[in-house]
Structures are given as structure tokens and as C-alpha cells.
């Protein structure tokens, strides 16, 4: 913070912008919070001043500005009743918020922005930047629009990541797929999507920490993960948990969503979501397949500098331990 005070200031205003949006009682107040959040995030992802970061910052700014204009037009038309029905204005507001969070079919900017920024920026973009739009959409759910977005997000999130070699693009399409699941959880209850969002953020933190500690940006770099079987095992468990396989923590929110969708007879949508999630498992497994193919070449000695690996193992053990504890509490 003291070394780079500007990052501290922009991080603070980033959080404050989201808090203003969530706590505001008027649509204009929510719009101001979203704008404050946008203008705080752009300097954070452009702090390295590399051409890739500048390009990502410009893409992010332009798309978010377009979404903000659409949001403002819908809000003002709803306030002054200019030849627009209430449902139409709410559809426009929902579309603007979906564009801000990168949901399909407004997802085209999301992988491109992710590709040019560092892992910390990716983590903020995949978690915190989605919080305010999610909360605002929950105020007025347009079920027809949300259901079509769920179908498209889960499909594009699974198909788009199949042929990617960039780890950041793989995580971007993974985020789009999970976004579809979070919207389906929001159709059920606010508590369920909040639970899903918190668990997804925890899993993202574990996975991105591992990628950051290994400076891993391309799929081919998985051949050269540090010679430590525990690190490879930690990364594999993290990816499986993010994919939603039991008995890991990532399975818990999907299990709850599946149960509630079945109870509300959304059988077609649920079947489609589960099938596309199985497709995402393929590119999660690609990440670690090449690394585990070279396990026989591991050295038999361990380095004394195991602080990063030790922290990684604590994260993974917590990911395994939480669902076991939850299971015991339920039963």
C-alpha cells in the first residue's frame, strides 16, 4: 500500500462503488455506483502500462461505457415515461447488467480483456466485478430473458474453452459457464446464488493463486510445473473442485441448484446445464493431463523453500474439508 498508494486508493473506490450500487434505493444511485466501480478498475488493470494491458483496459472501458449508456437510457425512460413500457425498460436494464458481467450473448469482450491482464486483475474481474450487476438483476428478475441467457452462457462457456491454449481464456470461459449456473441459482432464491458466488470466489482464489505462484499463462507451461508432486496434486484437486466433481466443495452449490431445479420442474434446462458442464470437465482435465504424464521424471528430493506449496496445500485441504464438515452437519 505504501509502495503504491494509487492502487490502494483505486481498490478502495472500487469497493465503495460496488457498495453504493448495492445499497442505493434508486436506479440513478445504482448507476453512479457502477460508474465509480468502472473508473476505479481501469487504472488497476493498466498499472503495468504494457500494450496488452492498455488494449484490455480500452476494451473494458468501451464495453462498460456502452452498457452504462444503455442502463442510463432505460432508467431515465422509466423515470419520465417516454413511450416505453415498464417491462421494456426492465429488459434493457437487465441486458445492460448482463453486458457488464460478461454473460452470453454479451460475452465477446470478456476473454479478450482477461487475456491482457495479470492474475490479480483476472480474479477481481471474475468475482468482485460481477457482484453489483448480480444484485441489481435480482431486484427485478425477467425470467424469459434469464432462462435464455442461462442456456447460452452454459453452452458458450463449455464450447468456447475446448480449443484454448491460454490459461486466462480457459478461466474466462469457465467463468461464463459458472455465471449461467449462478443465474439459475438466482431464479430459485437469493440465498442460493449468494452461497454459489461465495464458494465460486473461494475456488477461484485457490486456482488463481496456484497459477500465479507458477507464473502459468499458457497450457504448454503445465509441462514445466515446479518439480513437486504436491503442487501438481494441489492443482489437479483445485481444477476438479472448480469443475464441480464430488466430494469437493465445488460440487456443493451445483448439487443444491440441481435439487431445487428438479423440485421446480425445470428438467430441460437442468439436463442441458449438466451436459454442458460435463463438456467443461474436458478442458479442466487438459490443464493437468500433460503435467501428470511427466510424473515419472520427478526428482526424489524436496526443496526447503516450500512456503508457497505449504500455503497451496492449506487451501486445498480447506476445499476438501469444508464439504465433509457440511455433510456431517446436514446428516
pLDDT of residue 63: 95
Q: What is the distance between the alpha carbons of residues 298 and 167, in angstroms, rounded to a whole number?
A: 23
Residue 43 C-alpha cell reads as 487504472
pLDDT of residue 1: 46
Q: How far is CA 247 from CA 45, 109, 205, 243, 318, in A?
A: 35, 34, 19, 11, 12
Q: What is the distance between the alpha carbons of residues 155 and 98, in angstroms, rounded to a whole number?
A: 16
Q: What is the distance between the alpha carbons of residues 127 and 102, in angstroms, rounded to a whole number?
A: 12
Burial of 188 (0-12, 13-18, 19+ CB in 10 A): middle
Q: How far is CA 250 from CA 24, 150, 197, 217, 220, in A?
A: 32, 19, 11, 23, 26
Asked if 184 and 143 touch (Cβ cutoff 8 Å), the reply is no
User: Burial letters for 106-130: b for 16+ Cβ neighbours within 10 Å, e otherwise?
Assistant: bbebbbebbbbbbbebbbbbbbbbb
The structure's pTM equals 0.89
pLDDT of residue 228: 66
> Mean pLDDT in runs of 10 for the chain (331 residues)?
74 94 92 94 85 91 95 83 69 93 92 93 95 93 90 94 91 95 94 93 88 85 68 80 85 91 93 93 83 56 49 59 55 51
Contacts of 120 (CB under 8 A, 6+ apart): 212
Burial of 239 (0-12, 13-18, 19+ CB in 10 A): buried
Cβ–Cβ contacts within 10 Å for residue 257, how many?
24
pLDDT of residue 190: 92
Asked if 132 and 213 touch (Cβ cutoff 8 Å), the reply is no
Torsion of CA 191, 210, 124, 186, to 10 degrees: -20
pLDDT of residue 239: 86
The full set of domain ranges for the chain reads: 5-330
Amino acid at each position: 500500500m505504501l509502495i503504491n498508494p494509487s492502487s490502494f486508493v483505486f481498490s478502495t473506490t472500487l469497493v465503495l462503488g460496488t457498495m453504493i450500487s448495492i445499497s442505493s434505493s434508486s436506479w440513478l444511485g445504482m448507476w453512479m455506483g457502477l460508474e465509480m466501480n468502472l473508473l476505479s478498475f481501469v487504472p488497476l488493470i493498466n498499472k503495468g502500462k504494457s500494450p496488452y494491458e492498455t488494449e484490455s483496459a480500452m476494451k473494458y472501458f468501451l464495453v462498460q461505457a456502452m452498457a452504462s449508456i444503455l442502463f442510463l437510457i432505460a432508467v431515465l425512460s422509466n423515470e419520465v415515461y417516454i413511450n416505453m413500457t415498464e417491462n421494456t425498460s426492465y429488459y434493457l436494464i437487465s441486458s445492460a447488467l448482463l453486458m457488464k458481467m460478461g454473460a452470453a450473448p454479451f460475452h465477446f469482450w470478456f476473454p479478450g480483456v482477461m487475456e491482457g491482464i495479470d492474475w490479480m486483475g483476472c480474479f477481481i474481474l471474475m468475482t468482485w466485478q460481477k457482484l453489483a450487476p448480480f444484485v441489481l438483476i435480482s431486484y427485478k428478475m425477467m425470467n424469459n430473458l434469464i432462462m435464455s441467457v442461462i442456456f447460452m452462457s452454459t453452452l458458450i462457456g463449455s464450447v468456447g474453452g475446448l480449443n484454448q491454449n491460454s490459461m486466462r481464456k480457459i478461466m474466462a470461459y469457465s467463468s461464463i459457464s459458472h455465471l449461467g449456473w449462478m443465474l439459475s441459482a438466482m431464479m430459485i432464491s437469493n440465498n442460493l446464488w449468494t452461497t454459489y458466488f461465495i464458494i465460486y470466489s473461494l475456488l477461484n482464489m485457490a486456482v488463481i493463486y496456484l497459477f500465479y505462484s507458477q507464473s502459468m499463462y499458457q497450457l504448454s507451461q503445465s509441462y514445466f510445473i515446479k518439480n513437486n508432486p504436491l503442487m501438481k496434486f494441489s492443482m489437479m484437486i483445485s481444477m476438479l473442485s472448480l469443475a464441480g466433481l464430488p466430494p469437493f466443495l465445488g460440487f456443493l452449490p451445483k448439487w443444491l441448484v440441481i435439487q431445487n431445479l428438479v423440485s421446480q420442474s425445470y428438467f430441460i434446462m437442468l439436463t442441458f446445464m449438466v451436459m454442458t458442464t460435463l463438456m467443461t470437465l474436458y478442458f479442466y482435465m487438459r490443464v493437468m493431463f500433460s503435467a501428470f504424464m511427466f510424473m515419472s521424471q520427478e526428482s526424489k528430493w524436496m526443496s526447503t523453500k516450500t512456503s508457497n506449496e505449504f500455503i497451496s496445500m492449506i487451501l486445498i485441504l480447506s476445499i476438501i474439508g469444508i464439504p465433509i464438515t457440511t455433510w456431517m452437519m446436514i446428516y
